[in-house]
Structure 1
Amino acid sequence: MAAVLILLGLVVACGGGDDGDSSAGRPPGTPEITVLQAVIGEPVPILVNINHVPEGKRVDYQNAPPTSGQHWPTPAGCGFYSESLPDERVVHNMEHGNVVLSYNFTNPAQITELRQALDDVDQFEEWGVARPYNRIPDGEVALSAWGRVHTMAGVYPGEIELFFEAFAGELGPERITC
């Protein structure tokens, strides 16, 4: 966490002023990102086909967890789930600008720690979905937003809060709270 804050401070301090053209150096159609978005999470290519598929139809995603692509017509409601949610459902959430937190914990103490961390995230109630997910290594957490992912080997409340602050309601072609 300290390293993230130091890096954020350096980016802000060395970021320079406005040169008048904020799109300079970016390919056409590339969204401008904030300083905070530049320091947390890895970009993942956004899939071209983002259409709805029939409820129950499986989609073969390139990444686990996915961050874009075809999805079911109905998103999940925001909240903390103890039962797994299909990728096809939560990709729809990310299309709405929601953050999806996937966790693979077998230790109940880790789940309690994660719930407590999310209680401190202001945006979670309106913009967040947390679900168990066995397609990531045991003990890991993956935070996903439209075209962005951040993984952690455990619960790091500061990183969770930063990811939500950077991406909740900011990415995805539609911006709809749960």
Structure 2
Amino acid sequence: MLRALPALLLALCLACDSTSDDPTPGGEACERFSFPLSAVTASNHVSSCGSTACGNAENPPNSGMHCPTWLPCQSYTTEQPRCSWLHNLEHGHAVFLYNCPEGCADEVAKLEAAQARAAQGSNGVRRALVAPDAQLPQRFAAMLWRRTYLMDSVDPDAIACLLALQDQDAPEPGLLCAP
């Protein structure tokens, strides 16, 4: 038994390798989704949240320069500055966006359900926010730092698989979020 212990410990350590770039966490159920990493860009603070220098030139931006303030983790009914929620992403928070000028209450409810499954901070607050964004190229986006999943309708399975990557690539992972 004691001879097998080192091999067992090694196997456990290899199974828990957190440096993996595997975009399919959660086993076979997540293999059908792809959450590729965007290129690394500068991620310094800009002087103002209204700065046009925010983001990494993707739509929606999922990393890059951002303002020095972040948003409380809640569900918003009005558009929030991209420069602010980029800071949330840097902290390892999830951001769920929607673009439904005609309304989509049922789909937003699915995003809010996903928000309720995001990683929880030590203050008990789920580290995710939901907000409208009129600039989205599709109706919905689920985002982590350097990862974006765009959808025409909310896919709870895809979001659950994306949330398995929460904090993995964020420069300041695991930081609390105010309610």
User: Structure 1 length as normaliser, TM-score?
Assistant: 0.71
How many residues get paired?
149
Unaligned runs of 5+ in 1: 1-16, 24-30
Give the aligned partner of residue 58 of structure 1: 51
Aligned residues: percent identity? 24
Name which of 63, 87, 92 aligns with 2:87: 92
- Answer whether contact 1:102 1:133 (CA < 8 A) is retained: yes
CA distance in 2, matches of 1:105, 1:57: 23
Give the aligned partner of residue 145 of structure 1: 144
- RMSD over equivalenced CA pairs, Å: 2.7
Q: Which has the larger radius of gyration?
A: 2
Give the aligned partner of residue 128 of structure 1: 128
CA distance in 2, matches of 1:116, 1:148: 20
- Answer whether contact 1:127 1:169 (CA < 8 A) is retained: no
- Answer whether contact 1:46 1:67 (CA < 8 A) is retained: no
Give the aligned partner of residue 77 of structure 1: 72
SS in 1 for 2:126: helix
Letter in 2 for 1:74: T
SS in 2 for 1:113: helix
- Answer whether contact 2:59 2:137 (CA < 8 A) is retained: no
CA distance in 2, matches of 1:50, 1:177: 19
SS in 2 for 1:89: helix
Letter in 2 for 1:40: S
User: Structure 2 length as normaliser, TM-score?
Assistant: 0.71
Give the aligned partner of residue 6 of structure 2: none
Unaligned runs of 5+ in 2: 1-10, 120-124
Structure 1 residues 135 and 102: alpha-carbon distance in aligned structure 2, compared to 1, 3 A threshold: same
- Answer whether contact 1:67 1:91 (CA < 8 A) is retained: yes
Give the aligned partner of residue 173 of structure 1: 171
Structure 1 residues 142 and 113: alpha-carbon distance in aligned structure 2, compared to 1, 3 A threshold: closer
Structure 1 residues 56 and 117: alpha-carbon distance in aligned structure 2, compared to 1, 3 A threshold: closer
Give the aligned partner of residue 109 of structure 2: 115
Structure with more of its chain in helix, by fraction: 1
